[in-house]
Amino acid sequence: MTKSSNKIDSQNLNVDVHYLTRVEGHGNIVVDVKEGKLAKCEFQVIESPRFFESMLVGRSIWEAQHLTSRICGICACGHTLASIKAAEDALGVKPSAEVVMLRKLLLYTEMLDSHILHIYILVAPDLLGVKSIVPLIKTHRPVIEMALRMKRMSDYGAEVLAGRHIHPISYVIGGLTQLPSREGLEKLHTLMLESRKDGEATVKIIKTLKFPQFQRPTQYMSLTSDDEYAMYDGDLMVNGEKSKVRDYRKLFMESVVDYSKAKISKINGKSYAVGSLSRFNNNFNKLHKKAKAVAAELGLKAPCYNPYLNTAAQLVEWVHCLEESITILEKILKDGLKEEGVVVASWPKRSEVGKIKYKPNTGTGCVEVPRGSLFHEYTIDDSAHITAANCVIPTNQNIGNLEDDMRKLVPELLGKKTQEEITLDLEMLARSYDPCISCATHLLDVSFV
């Protein structure tokens, strides 16, 4: 941690946050100002890489989802869905409308879960001036119980839909290995209706908290769709222009920096942001009306250029996902689910192993996960074994943007705040992106230079 310094020095600053806490994974913030000049401003990802893209090579595409959900414990459902979509794209499998609806429900459930975890457990302690949720268990017990109740609701959703939240079980290529039970869905519906008032209470709380004032317009990328607030499907949108998901490599460029295990990603040579605020800025009009009302209550308007307000955008999305989930659940409870979406756990069947020939192909899948657009891409041979894989994770895409934010923010604070205050502001800035560093190190480009 930083050395104590009460004297405010406008010429020199040295921030070295070794192991940023309350984030997923391991990262450092290093800022060095010498004689008024910003000599260093880095967000270093130091997590040990896990080599998922290499692990995938040679394995059956039917195993890909099982393996890649293990990239991240928080976004396991998102990785599952991006993986399944990429595999289906490669194999030419088309899921039924009902299966797509259940997948959206699972994705919303994870969004609900992750956003509430971030808002209460990772960000709220900063805004309340404490170091973690632990002292809040004593001082703010009813709020913590509420947060856990909200989290429990979404965890229960993933349990009912997919068997569990961390590394879901029943969502596979082509459909589900088992339909969720009616009793489970009914209970989830009840829990979601009850959660509405916890959501309202959360809006009241977040409204009273003070986010730092800081503005930096940047490029915002997300999925977009004419039909809905895009999360499961759509085209990519940046600077008002659309492109196809499969062209993602043409849209953004990645480069390796020597201080970090994560690559830096750019569009038109400049950094860009993904995540709640980007989706909010790009797709505001498609939000549920209750979510729009919450945005108004929080004073959040699109476009919003304050990265700290990503947390507020998460709350807006929380309300959106809750309302969309309730709508889907009510449709299912009214119409029932048809068995046609149920497929066997793993293809090919034992008796088919080695007998089916596939078309060698490359498939790409993208979904919006809590931290932004997540891409999986697999190339398969004629036995449906993976010959190359690429996973692009939101945190990686955000790192360049975060560093550019820090470059603008540090000079604005120099001479006005103490070193500790600046350090905290930088930590909070990094945390507002909800970085998921453990995933970020798996970002790679498989093209060999």
Q: Closest separation between CB of residue 67 and ligand SF4, Å?
A: 10
- Using Cβ positions, the residue closest to ligand SF4 within the complex turns out to be 70
- The stretches of 227-275 forming alpha helices (DSSP H) are 248-251
Q: Which is nearer to ligand SF4, 140 or 165 (CB)?
A: 165
Instruction: From 73-81, 95-103, 187-195, 213-221, give the range in contact with other proteins by CB under 8 A.
Output: 73-81
Cβ 127 vs Cβ 210: under 8 Å: yes
Closest CA to 370 of 104, 83, 114, 121: 114
36's CB contacts (< 8 A; 6+ apart) are 10, 11, 414
Closest CA to 81 of 323, 340, 361, 376: 376
Distance (Å, whole) CA 112 – CA 231: 13
Cβ 409 vs Cβ 308: under 8 Å: no
Q: Scan residues 265-324 and list those touching other proteins (CB under 8 A).
A: none
CA 436 → CA 35, 182, 239, 413, 423, distances in Å?
34, 34, 25, 26, 20
Q: Closest separation between CB of residue 346 and ligand SF4, Å?
A: 12
Q: Which is nearer to other proteins, 212 or 411 (CB)?
A: 212
Q: Is residue 76 a contact point for other proteins (CB under 8 A)? A: yes
Q: Scan residues 124-163 and list those touching other proteins (CB under 8 A).
A: 125, 131-134, 137, 144-145, 148-149, 151-152, 155, 162-163
SS3 37: strand
Rounded to 5 degrees, φ, ψ at 242 are -100, 150
Q: Is residue 73 a contact point for ligand SF4 (CB under 6 A)? A: yes
Q: Scan residues 162-221 and list those touching ligand SF4 (CB under 6 A).
A: 166
| Among the listed residues 104, 165, 292, 371, the single contact to other proteins using CB under 8 A | 165
66's CB contacts (< 8 A; 6+ apart) are 167
Q: Is residue 96 a contact point for other proteins (CB under 8 A)? A: no
Q: Which does 204 bind (CB under 5 to 8 A by kind): other proteins, ligand SF4, none?
A: none
Q: Which does 423 bind (CB under 5 to 8 A by kind): other proteins, ligand SF4, none?
A: none
| Among the listed residues 10, 11, 21, 190, the single contact to other proteins using CB under 8 A | 21
Closest CA to 243 of 268, 275, 263, 264: 268
Q: Is residue 70 a contact point for ligand SF4 (CB under 6 A)? A: yes
Distance (Å, whole) CA 108 – CA 250: 29
Instruction: From 187-195, 213-221, 228-236, 337-345, give the range in contact with other proteins by CB under 8 A.
Output: 337-345
| Among the listed residues 2, 12, 16, 22, the single contact to other proteins using CB under 8 A | 22
Q: Scan residues 43-62 and list those touching other proteins (CB under 8 A).
A: 47-51, 53-55, 57-59
Instruction: From 21-29, 103-111, 282-290, 304-312, give the range in contact with other proteins by CB under 8 A.
Output: 21-29
Q: Which does 170 bind (CB under 5 to 8 A by kind): other proteins, ligand SF4, none?
A: other proteins
- DSSP code of residue 120: I
Q: How big is the site for other proteins, counted in residues (CB under 8 A)?
A: 73
Distance (Å, whole) CA 283 – CA 264: 25
Distance (Å, whole) CA 138 – CA 357: 61
* Site for ligand SF4, rule CB under 6 A: 70, 73, 166
